[in-house]
Amino acid sequence: MSQKLDVAAHWNARYATTEAVYGRGPNAFFSSWILGQSITGLAPGRMLLPADGEGRNGVYAAVHGWDVSTFDASSEGVAKSQRWAAEAAPLAGNLQARVARAGQYSPAPGEKFDAIGLFYFHQQPESRARFHRQALEWLAPGGTLLLEGFGKGQLSFDSGGPPELGMLFNEAELRADFAGLDVRACGTFLVELDEGPYHQGAAEVVRFIARRA
């Protein structure tokens, strides 16, 4: 089996055996940004959430009025995302979830997104840089890109994340990957994760927010 097929099989098995692998609530960093947008009165727009897994972030954004597109390599995760969105109806707005790997996904011709959220989407370095460049092309003028993932120091913790140093984030790599964006925030933090059974305990995370001119 190829590495990509192994990845899909791994996540299918995990999502099939646990109802909420990372909890049903949204990522805390993401939810604080969504609420901040609401407080400032900015109208929700179109959002893309790659590798959204079971859909906890996509459903949350849809409930808050965003027109959300998500994708994930796991068919089990996508099916659960669609089910959770249906359970949230009629509060949840439009959420379109589809099965696709990062290298396969493409939006409709000319489609741009007002926000793109990348949450714990860890890839091998070459794949990461390539996908991040692609994501830049999908971001609309004035759009915001958000990212949270495990930092290089996460290897000292047992609260989740890949065991390979190259798959973990640091600030310099993100600034390089997203060169050309107006970086609004970029930092490394020690946090206490409480996101389902697979993200529990002390962790090092990198958070990044940037806007396209």
Can you list the alpha helix ranges (DSSP code H) found in the chain?
3-17, 28-39, 56-63, 75-88, 125-138, 171-177
pLDDT band at 89 (very low <50, low <70, confident <90, very high): confident
DSSP 122: -
3-class SS of residue 13:
helix
User: Does residue 163 have a cis peptide bond before it, meaning omega lies within 30 degrees of 0?
Assistant: no
pLDDT exceeds 50 at position 171: yes
3-class SS of residue 29:
helix
What does the pLDDT read at residue 12? Answer: 97
Amino acid identity of residue 120, one-letter, is: Y
Amino acid identity of residue 51, one-letter, is: A
d(CA 78, CA 84) in angstroms, rounded, equals 10
Q: Which of 30-39, 78-87, 92-101 has the lowest mean pLDDT?
A: 92-101
d(CA 37, CA 94) in angstroms, rounded, equals 18
Q: What is the pLDDT of residues 123-167, one digit of tens each?
A: 999 999 999 999 999 999 999 999 999 999 999 999 999 999 999
Q: What is the pLDDT of residues 91-116, one digit of tens each?
A: 767 999 999 999 999 999 999 999 99
What does the pLDDT read at residue 200? Answer: 98
3-class SS of residue 100:
coil
pLDDT exceeds 70 at position 3: no
| CATH of 3-100+111-211 among 3.50.40.10, 1.10.760.10, 3.40.50.150, 3.40.50.300 | 3.40.50.150
- Mean pLDDT over the full length of the chain: 95
